[in-house]
Structure 1
């Protein structure tokens, strides 16, 4: 519902914590939470209040989240000390959340007038209705955005009332056009009637699944009794606990894999047996000790909350995948030296996968990561929180990711790389990383003395499109897609098994979202080591004489200091890959594309071609094909100035004369001298290297602008975009075709894109976040 941290000023005091029944006089008029209120929150609020780090930690994606209320500390501010964890399953009751400092956002137990006057939910909505009428001043919001990370949320209605009086622009939806009158009346009627929640019957209906037997089949797989299966389940959970699970056999349902104190029920029981989540701080935390139980169970918990695209990535499964996982992990002998007898079980409470899962054959572990690489990398880049902020500084704006084939991977052939201890693998210090890199380089020299061939790149058997990933950074958030998309990037990665595990555990499994700044800075620094490692791995495919040139070009300025301290593992390795002397990267990409095949690399990228079509921007555009050809003249080129003025993500609706529409995302690809300093955004930009890519779908979860035009207008738009030389030029073009936050059509446009997303992207779609929408030029 609102936009940024500051935006969340929902604060209330309440005389009663639990929902009271409606009075007889109002019973017939009370809106239903399930049918009226939650759908309203979904379409107007959860975009910013639907994730772990929602502004003021108010989650409006469920009645439980609304009941929990808000939290005074700003999760995005700088702070040295750790905050309490705020996952919805950390504690079970509203009373426990109150003890942790959460304050109510609803008032109950009084008269209709008292409930409304003391409910900050309605006060903020009504402030927005009064001051955010179409055409409201966008400039009035600037002071609030400028200090959004300094904001502290008031915890009483009196404190909030004072803030509203001082600055009426804080009303909800924050910085956006007010809610429709009928929506406001619905909320008012519900709050006045004591804000009743879902009934038991409604909650039972929500928990029903389409096919309980399919759910039970997976729970049986994860809860198998033998020691090897239990260790495999731990490994899978560690790596995919953030993903959304969709079962082909249970259409329309979404699940997440959790650990529970309660066992699965009867296979035909619907809804399935109750899930009591054991929400440990880390996925590898000992659940027995944490929950005080002798047995825990892996469960598929149905997700009944709305999906938000900023942290939504799908693990799509069917019953045949059970057999596939059993074959991958359990069909082979693990070795006679392996002891899983209760006395030698894998340790808990240890964030080192190399030591914990040493018993599982390393190739099985790696193939699991490879076959689900988009999911694993999505966990690395999306994460459970709303915004990445400084965490994304280590990510470059556009790059492709490839993987070393298990047959060629030295960390598969010699998992310990000749090191004495597994601790070195997860040692995040400069010295620990150097020791690892030295060992990796020595292993390359010993096991791959002739260097890599093109076959060293995993091609997914030319069928698995997880073999080629496109990763995009949009300032404080990141997108991951499969295939060769967006045009040839400036930098590329080649990941191996041990590096894949290291970066996942650094940024996901070991990441403390609740921690202070120091641990987060350590994560950022280690990510930079790993990014450099993967760029170096890719450079090993090039001739030795070309490697340092690209290494220095990809990291400049202050980054050269860090570069000098980071070993180039395998720098002297030969290569068996033949590339052209004129443009080694372009010719290498051609070799990789042929090696991958069409299924993996994807269809020809006509929007971002390396060789441009022979068309003119002065030609009329009467079809989508003509639009694609014309637009491609402006993508992946440094010939124009306009990319330096683009925001990160623009989503375009393009209408044809027959009443149809297509959607395209215009993405800015920025370049910086280095990612080795968190100050790079302020002084190390290389705007002459910026480019734009266009994608024929919705990209990312945080649009900066919606644009809308007809095909007949698209030529004018492209010509004006080409001619942008200044920020003022861009602003004029934006105002001509964009839908600004104070437009009377804003919510109509948002709903249209939401519906398009659901219709065309299906299970992969979620609500778009509005935190960065139409931010002013000095902000984005």
Structure 2
């Protein structure tokens, strides 16, 4: 054997050894965890920058698009681009206008590789405020550079590589991603597979919804339309396994052949089946609206819907009229069953339209106040449930707009539906005036879903069981017609890809829904106080809106509640808390301190001391806290004891408004001198705006600094001492600890939080 051959053989063996020591990169094992840690917080759901969704291999392979999902000005509805729904595979998505971020372009590396390299070579100064020329948040105009446009992007945005404006990848993460991209970015992702026990329950539930018979078909359709947004989980299922209801051309036992209609109540075609499909990809908190199924739930559903003697003469169609008025479409199903089903899991239903399927709530949230409580009318006191004659008169008036999206007809459509709604409100007012005065029994108190708190954070909102915070300015009282209409208008019938006409009609009708919920609540107040409350809720331009668009209230018939004449609303709230304390899932001594102790009992003494100090900030008007205007809507406080225990608190800024009755010009109706703070243990937002990390022993100093700060410069010193800026070296550790805290306190609700709204304080 020649010397040259020997050397070649040795080199070959050495190269094989090197290859053996360098494991093949697995997308599932090596890549998705990096995306989940460093990318998904900005690249998930419809508000993914450039529609690049990195929560799954399918999303990474789909790539990016220049077309934004959120476009309130478009005159024509856009084609839906729902991941796992409207197309499958890279080629199909590219036919819909997406372009690859993973493929190399000739001699050029993949677009993702170049974006990551730009970010890696321009690291941020640790925990420093970012340059003002880096625009963040929802006002950012994403460039969505295609591969051929990258050089121009890098030249004009040299400090805006990926991850954008945040502490970036570690060196090992960066090297792993670059090696994977250089090798062609192979994806080995496997779909989530149900466990044996879950598969058995899937079959049982599918059999229930697909049972033959006209009555069974109508109930199956109603249930599907009320569950289509749910992340279903089985109480004895695998942790982290969730399912969603879809419609398929194939029956149980066969692979799902998805029917991907725009809305869940669009016509699915001649033959279809309801199926439970595993939720794929990373669970993100903003779309994670959970719903439990169990043997007890199945028994409840059968008891409500299948045990009566009601009949179906003919199944309704799927046309615009059927979508517009679910009360008529499903009138054969007993109204009591429908309402009670929604009450059983009221938090879920309120979350569907408050947190919503759209990931970004500015379509609707500017029609609600920054904090309010929601209550529900007991079915036995709901005329729509108890009086067939009233139900027959009301049903035609409960149709909702949005099916016709002709831009030129917006005003005429709006006036038609407004007038119908006001006729209904007049019918309701006059009919309820003939009933006995409302009392405490008017309120439903069936389980801990009966009392809910809603917090709006400008363009997003959250819902939590229990009455949190000081007594709010407004409260909502849902009856069945109001709860069902809100759900259909904002969840079932809302199309995030719709045009300006559809979105405007949705927003304008939600304004009427809010007003209806307020009017329902006012019936509980003394008659002579109602006009005063209404004037407070609709100040300034709101009075014109009351005259223009709202039906007049009942300010004559009495209430049976015995309330303090000086402040009946606060007295109502205090009596409510006393009467239904066992249902109030989350007592709140921090914000409603009524004695010397303003903290929760039975917690670490250091945390009790911290909560006692934090209570000094809670519910204080802006006049007593000069820098409240420096705080964003949703700030998280991470308080850590010497023993390593930590609690996360939400510090929520409640912006005051003269009214919330108009589509535009919200900033003109701010009342900054009346803003308050709510502080509560837990993560009460999917979109943290900022975070402070404070040792428990330093919380009194933090509170004192907040109380004494007079301007932006002094507030910045607080940020520099305790703040976790986007550039903080441990930013991701602290950010993801919020999700870990959710896992520890309520594991079913855990999901990756969104940082698109994390501010540059």
TM-score, length basis structure 1: 0.88
Show the counterpart of 2:465: 482
Verify: 1:629 aligned to 2:616, yes or no.
no
Show the counterpart of 1:20: none
Contact in 1 for aligned 2:425/2:516 (Cα 8 Å): no
Deviation track 1:188-226 (CA, whole Å, cap 9, x = no partner) reads 11111111111xxx6267565653212211111121112
| Alignment CA distance shift 1:431-1:261 (3 Å) | closer
Verify: 1:104 aligned to 2:97, yes or no.
no
- Distance across 2 between alignment mates of 1:102 and 1:578: 62
SS of the equivalent of 2:430 reads helix
Show the counterpart of 2:288: 312
| Alignment CA distance shift 1:210-1:439 (3 Å) | closer
Q: How does 1:561-640 map to 2 (within 5 A)?
A: 561-565=544-548, 566-595=550-579, 597-609=580-592, 611=594, 613=596, 623-638=606-621, 639-640=624-625
Question: Offset at 1:416?
Answer: 7.1
Question: Offset at 1:592?
Answer: 2.2
- Distance across 2 between alignment mates of 1:255 and 1:37: 24
In structure 2, runs of 5+ residues without a counterpart are 1-15, 402-413
Contact in 1 for aligned 2:305/2:333 (Cα 8 Å): yes
SS of the equivalent of 1:775 reads coil
Question: Offset at 1:427?
Answer: 4.2
Show the counterpart of 1:6: none
Question: Offset at 1:184?
Answer: 0.7
Show the counterpart of 1:15: none
Deviation track 1:475-515 (CA, whole Å, cap 9, x = no partner) reads 11110011111221111000111111111111111111012
Q: How does 1:265-284 map to 2 (within 5 A)?
A: 265=253, 273-284=254-265
Contact in 1 for aligned 2:137/2:758 (Cα 8 Å): no
Q: How does 1:38-437 map to 2 (within 5 A)?
A: 38-81=32-75, 82-88=77-83, 89-107=85-103, 114=107, 117-135=108-126, 138-140=129-131, 142=133, 144-145=135-136, 148=139, 150-154=141-145, 156-198=146-188, 203=190, 206=193, 211-252=198-239, 253-265=241-253, 273-288=254-269, 294-334=270-310, 338-340=312-314, 344-345=315-316, 347=318, 350-351=322-323, 352-414=325-387, 417=390, 422-428=395-401, 429-437=414-422
SS of the equivalent of 1:275 reads coil
Show the counterpart of 1:5: none
- Distance across 1 between alignment mates of 2:222 and 2:454: 25
SS of the equivalent of 2:229 reads coil
- Distance across 2 between alignment mates of 1:395 and 1:174: 32
- Distance across 2 between alignment mates of 1:684 and 1:48: 31
Contact in 2 for aligned 1:454/1:591 (Cα 8 Å): no
- Distance across 2 between alignment mates of 1:742 and 1:143: 13
Show the counterpart of 2:404: none
CA RMSD in angstroms, aligned pairs only: 2.5
More moved, 762-771 vs 95-104:
95-104
SS of the equivalent of 2:351 reads helix
| Alignment CA distance shift 1:225-1:134 (3 Å) | farther
Show the counterpart of 2:744: 759
- Distance across 2 between alignment mates of 1:514 and 1:476: 18
SS of the equivalent of 1:715 reads helix
More moved, 101-110 vs 476-485:
101-110
- Distance across 1 between alignment mates of 2:29 and 2:330: 46
Show the counterpart of 1:31: 25
Question: Offset at 1:737?
Answer: 0.6
SS of the equivalent of 1:232 reads helix
More moved, 633-642 vs 304-313:
633-642
SS of the equivalent of 2:453 reads strand
More moved, 602-611 vs 488-497:
602-611
- Distance across 2 between alignment mates of 1:120 and 1:734: 35
- Distance across 1 between alignment mates of 2:662 and 2:133: 27
Q: How does 1:457-536 map to 2 (within 5 A)?
A: 457-460=443-446, 464-536=447-519
- Distance across 2 between alignment mates of 1:233 and 1:330: 11
More moved, 515-524 vs 241-250:
515-524
Question: Offset at 1:395?
Answer: 1.8
Contact in 1 for aligned 2:610/2:697 (Cα 8 Å): no
Contact in 2 for aligned 1:214/1:249 (Cα 8 Å): no
Show the counterpart of 2:13: none
SS of the equivalent of 2:590 reads coil
In structure 1, runs of 5+ residues without a counterpart are 1-22, 266-272, 289-293
Verify: 1:738 aligned to 2:738, yes or no.
no
TM-score, length basis structure 2: 0.90
- Distance across 1 between alignment mates of 2:130 and 2:191: 47
- Distance across 1 between alignment mates of 2:735 and 2:171: 18
Question: Offset at 1:363?
Answer: 0.8
Question: Offset at 1:406?
Answer: 0.8
Question: Offset at 1:584?
Answer: 0.5
- Distance across 1 between alignment mates of 2:388 and 2:483: 13
Contact in 2 for aligned 1:122/1:188 (Cα 8 Å): yes
Verify: 1:723 aligned to 2:708, yes or no.
yes
More moved, 555-564 vs 725-734:
725-734
SS of the equivalent of 1:282 reads coil
Deviation track 1:749-776 (CA, whole Å, cap 9, x = no partner) reads 2233332232332110111111111235
- Distance across 2 between alignment mates of 1:418 and 1:751: 49
| Alignment CA distance shift 1:334-1:774 (3 Å) | same
Contact in 2 for aligned 1:487/1:610 (Cα 8 Å): no
SS of the equivalent of 2:373 reads strand
Deviation track 1:351-371 (CA, whole Å, cap 9, x = no partner) reads 121111011001111111111
SS of the equivalent of 1:598 reads coil
Deviation track 1:56-96 (CA, whole Å, cap 9, x = no partner) reads 11111111111111111223344323221111211234323
Contact in 1 for aligned 2:486/2:510 (Cα 8 Å): yes
- Distance across 1 between alignment mates of 2:683 and 2:554: 39
